[in-house]
Chain A
Amino acid sequence: MFCTIYSGGLDGIGAYLVQVEVDISTGLPGFGMVGSLSGEVREARERVQVALRNAGFDLPPMKITVNLAPAHIRKEGTAYDLPIAIGMLAAMGYFDKTALNNVLFAGELGLDGEIKPVRGIFPIVQEAGKSGMKCCIVSQQNAREGALAGDMDVRGAENINQVVDFLQESNEKRDWILPRVVETVGATREQLQEESLDFADVCGQEGAKRAAEIAAAGFHNLLMVGQPGAGKSMIAKRIPGIMPPLTRKESMEVSAVYSVAGLLKDSQPLVTKRPFQSPHHTVTMAALTGGSGVPRPGIMSLAHRGVLFLDELPEFSRATLDCMRQPLEDREVHLAKAYGNVTYPADFMLVCAMNPCVCGYYPDRNRCRCTEGSIRKYLGRVSGPVLDRIDLCVEILPVNITKLRQPKGESSAAIRERVMKARRRQEERFCGTACHFNGDMKTAEIERYCSLGPAEQKVMEKAYETMRFSARGYHRILRVARTIADLAGEEQIREEHLLEAVCYRAGDRIYWGGGDRI
Chain B
Amino acid sequence: MSDKYDYWLHHLPGVGERTIRKLLAVFSKPEEIYERLISPGAGKAERQKEFEGILTGKQKEALAACTKSWSLEEEYEKLAEMGIQFLTFQDLMYPQRLKEIPDPPFGLYVRGNLPKENVLSVAVIGARECSEYGRFVGQELGKTLGEKGVQVISGMARGIDGISQAAALDAGGISFGVLGCGVDICYPSQNKRLYERLLTQGGILSPYIPGTMPKAPLFPPRNRIVSGLADALIVVEARQKSGTLITVDMALEQGREVYVVPGRLTDRLSDGCNRLIKQGAGILLSPEDFLTEMSDNFPDKFVLCSENSSGKTNYEPFSMSKEERIIYDSLDLTPKAVNQICIDSQTKLSYLQVQQILIRFCLIGAAKQPVPGFYAAVHPPQK
Distance between Cα atoms of A164 and B291 in the complex (Å): 105
Task: Report if A246 contacts B (CB, 8 A).
Answer: no
A395 touches B360 (CB 8 A): no
Tally A-B pairs: CB < 8 A.
Answer: 96
Return the contact of A206 from the options B129, B158, B352, B362 (Cβ within 8 A).
B352
Q: List residues of chain A with CB within 8 A of the CB of B362.
A: 466, 506
B355 touches A207 (CB 8 A): yes
Q: Give the interface segment out of A128-136, A338-346, A368-376, A381-389.
A: A368-376
A363 touches B268 (CB 8 A): no
Task: Report if B380 contacts A (CB, 8 A).
Answer: no
Task: Report if A393 contacts B (CB, 8 A).
Answer: yes
A204 touches B129 (CB 8 A): no
Known: A365-B129, A397-B337, A400-B339. A499 touches B372 (CB 8 A): no
Please give the distance in Å from B79's CB to the nearest CB on chain A. 29
Task: Report if B1 contacts A (CB, 8 A).
Answer: no
Known: A370-B129, A506-B372. A499 touches B190 (CB 8 A): no
Task: Report if B267 contacts A (CB, 8 A).
Answer: yes
Q: Give the interface segment out of B174-182, B252-260, B299-307, B363-371.
A: B363-371
Task: Report if B269 contacts A (CB, 8 A).
Answer: yes
Please give the distance in Å from A60's CB to the nearest CB on chain B. 78
Please give the distance in Å from B323's CB to the nearest CB on chain A. 14
Task: Report if A37 contacts B (CB, 8 A).
Answer: no
Task: Look across to chain B and name the residue whose beta carbon is closest to the beta carbon of A376.
Answer: B190
Task: Report if A56 contacts B (CB, 8 A).
Answer: no
Task: Report if A507 contacts B (CB, 8 A).
Answer: yes
Known: A206-B339, A206-B352, A462-B363. A510 touches B129 (CB 8 A): no
B363 touches A466 (CB 8 A): yes
Most buried by B among A210, A395, A503, A506: A503
Task: Look across to chain A and name the residue whose beta carbon is closest to the beta carbon of B138.
Answer: A518
Q: List residues of chain A with CB within 8 A of the CB of B374.
A: 363, 395
Task: Report if A195 contacts B (CB, 8 A).
Answer: no
Distance between Cα atoms of A365 and B268 in the complex (Å): 8
Task: Report if B128 contacts A (CB, 8 A).
Answer: yes
Task: Report if B351 contacts A (CB, 8 A).
Answer: yes
A499 touches B356 (CB 8 A): yes
A365 touches B269 (CB 8 A): yes
| Docked complex: B83-110 residues within 8 A CB-CB of A | none
Task: Report if A212 contacts B (CB, 8 A).
Answer: no
Known: A371-B158, A462-B364, A466-B362. A507 touches B372 (CB 8 A): yes
Please give the distance in Å from A216's CB to the nearest CB on chain B. 17
B359 touches A502 (CB 8 A): yes
Please give the distance in Å from B125's CB to the nearest CB on chain A. 14
A510 touches B356 (CB 8 A): no
A510 touches B268 (CB 8 A): no
A369 touches B158 (CB 8 A): no
Please give the distance in Å from A37's CB to the nearest CB on chain B. 57
Task: Look across to chain B and name the residue whose beta carbon is closest to the beta carbon of A399.
Answer: B339
| Docked complex: B52-67 residues within 8 A CB-CB of A | none
Known: A225-B372, A462-B364, A502-B359. A518 touches B162 (CB 8 A): yes
Please give the distance in Å from A131's CB to the nearest CB on chain B. 54
Task: Report if B338 contacts A (CB, 8 A).
Answer: yes
A515 touches B190 (CB 8 A): yes
Return the contact of A366 from the options B130, B163, B268 (Cβ within 8 A).
B268
Task: Look across to chain A and name the residue whose beta carbon is closest to the beta carbon of B375.
Answer: A506
Please give the distance in Å from A357's CB to the nearest CB on chain B. 11
B266 touches A366 (CB 8 A): yes
Task: Report if A197 contacts B (CB, 8 A).
Answer: no
Please give the distance in Å from A477's CB to the nearest CB on chain B. 11
B269 touches A363 (CB 8 A): no
Task: Report if B335 contacts A (CB, 8 A).
Answer: yes
B363 touches A463 (CB 8 A): yes
Known: A225-B372, A397-B373, A507-B372. A365 touches B131 (CB 8 A): yes
Distance between Cα atoms of A370 and B131 in the complex (Å): 12
Distance between Cα atoms of A499 and B352 in the complex (Å): 10
Return the contact of A518 from the options B166, B352, B373 (Cβ within 8 A).
B166
Contact with B along A201-217 (1 / 0, CB 8 A): 00010110010000000
Distance between Cα atoms of A394 and B352 in the complex (Å): 13
A397 touches B162 (CB 8 A): no
A518 touches B371 (CB 8 A): no
Distance between Cα atoms of A386 and B190 in the complex (Å): 26
Distance between Cα atoms of A206 and B269 in the complex (Å): 31
Task: Report if B114 contacts A (CB, 8 A).
Answer: no
Please give the distance in Å from A414's CB to the nearest CB on chain B. 15
Please give the distance in Å from A404's CB to the nearest CB on chain B. 12
Task: Report if A511 contacts B (CB, 8 A).
Answer: yes
Q: List residues of chain A with CB within 8 A of the CB of B267.
A: 366
Known: A365-B129, A371-B129. A506 touches B369 (CB 8 A): yes
Task: Report if A173 contacts B (CB, 8 A).
Answer: no
Return the contact of B370 from the options A363, A372, A459, A462 (Cβ within 8 A).
A363
Task: Look across to chain A and name the residue whose beta carbon is closest to the beta carbon of B191.
Answer: A518
A499 touches B359 (CB 8 A): yes
Distance between Cα atoms of A496 and B349 in the complex (Å): 14
B343 touches A400 (CB 8 A): yes
Please give the distance in Å from A268's CB to the nearest CB on chain B. 39
Distance between Cα atoms of A463 and B362 in the complex (Å): 9
| Docked complex: B119-152 residues within 8 A CB-CB of A | 128-131
Task: Report if B15 contacts A (CB, 8 A).
Answer: no
B371 touches A362 (CB 8 A): yes
Distance between Cα atoms of A26 and B111 in the complex (Å): 100
Task: Report if B12 contacts A (CB, 8 A).
Answer: no
Q: List residues of chain A with CB within 8 A of the CB of B364.
A: 462
Distance between Cα atoms of A518 and B158 in the complex (Å): 6
Please give the distance in Å from B215's CB to the nearest CB on chain A. 17
Distance between Cα atoms of A518 and B161 in the complex (Å): 9
Task: Look across to chain A and name the residue whose beta carbon is closest to the beta carbon of B358.
Answer: A503
| Docked complex: A176-226 residues within 8 A CB-CB of B | 204, 206-207, 210, 225
Q: List residues of chain B with CB within 8 A of the CB of A515.
A: 190
Q: List residues of chain B with CB within 8 A of the CB of A424.
A: none
Distance between Cα atoms of A373 and B189 in the complex (Å): 10
Task: Report if A165 contacts B (CB, 8 A).
Answer: no
Task: Report if A408 contacts B (CB, 8 A).
Answer: no
A210 touches B372 (CB 8 A): no
Please give the distance in Å from B191's CB to the nearest CB on chain A. 6
Distance between Cα atoms of A51 and B241 in the complex (Å): 79
Task: Report if B218 contacts A (CB, 8 A).
Answer: no
Task: Report if B194 contacts A (CB, 8 A).
Answer: yes
Q: List residues of chain A with CB within 8 A of the CB of B360.
A: 499
Task: Report if A447 contacts B (CB, 8 A).
Answer: no
Q: List residues of chain B with CB within 8 A of the CB of A403.
A: 339
Distance between Cα atoms of A366 and B334 in the complex (Å): 12
23 contacts across the A-B interface (CB closer than 8 A): A206-B351, A207-B355, A365-B130, A366-B267, A371-B158, A372-B158, A372-B190, A393-B372, A395-B337, A395-B373, A397-B373, A400-B343, A462-B363, A462-B364, A463-B363, A499-B359, A503-B356, A506-B359, A507-B372, A510-B372, A511-B372, A518-B163, A518-B191
Instruction: Sort A-B residue pairs by CB-CB distance and give the 8 closest, nearest first.
Output: A507-B372, A395-B373, A363-B371, A206-B351, A518-B162, A515-B190, A397-B337, A462-B363
